[in-house]
Amino acid sequence: MINIHVLNGPNLNLLGRREPEIYGRLTLADIEQLAREKAKSLGASVTFRQSNHEGHLVDWIQEAGAQGAGIVINAGAYTHTSIALRDAISGSGAPTIEIHLSNVHARDSFRHRSLIAPVCLGVICGFGPMSYVLGLEAIHRVMVERTQEAKSSTH
């Protein structure tokens, strides 16, 4: 079974209350439910976590890599500041999709630059909670293709 880690950074625990005009009214628990339903429909397992602490996210990225899992990450503000997350993604070997609820390119200029995007397979932003669903679909497809490639190279 394909394992996907959905990792959430700082302040995402405030979803539903924090700037609902930007982030929507769904809570992180609501989004987790959507992610779990999508993972189930894909036949994948999902580990869903949130932390306001950069070191926890680094540990979880490394854990996902060690398990051979894929990652969907909404790193929140750490997207724009964290070399540690970038290095963890790069070093873990875990295929990673960066996601955001809002369209970061339509917001403050400091949000236009992602330090983690260059080490991710792709970026999905601006689709609200659907960004998570799209991220899960994308990483699942990558993981399936990699599994098929690995099987065909051993035959």
Contacts of 87 (CB under 8 A, 6+ apart): none
13 is in an annotated binding site: no
107 is in an annotated binding site: no
102 is in an annotated binding site: yes
**Which of 119, 120, 121, 101 minimizes the C-alpha distance to 111?**
101
Residue 93 CA from chain centroid, whole number = 15
The tokens of 101 are what? 């609820």
Say which of 5, 78, 100, 132 is annotated catalytic: 100
87 is in an annotated binding site: yes
Say which of 23, 78, 132, 140 is annotated catalytic: 23
CB atoms inside a 10 Å sphere around CB 124: 20
* Catalytic residue status for 100: yes
User: How would DSSP label each residue in 96-132?
Assistant: EEEEESS-GGGS-GGGG--SSGGGSSEEEESSTTHHH
Q: Tell me if 86 sits within 8 A of 117, measured CB to CB.
A: no
Q: Summarize the annotated binding site for substrate as residue ranges.
A: 74, 80, 87, 101-102, 111
Name the residues annotated as catalytic: 23, 100
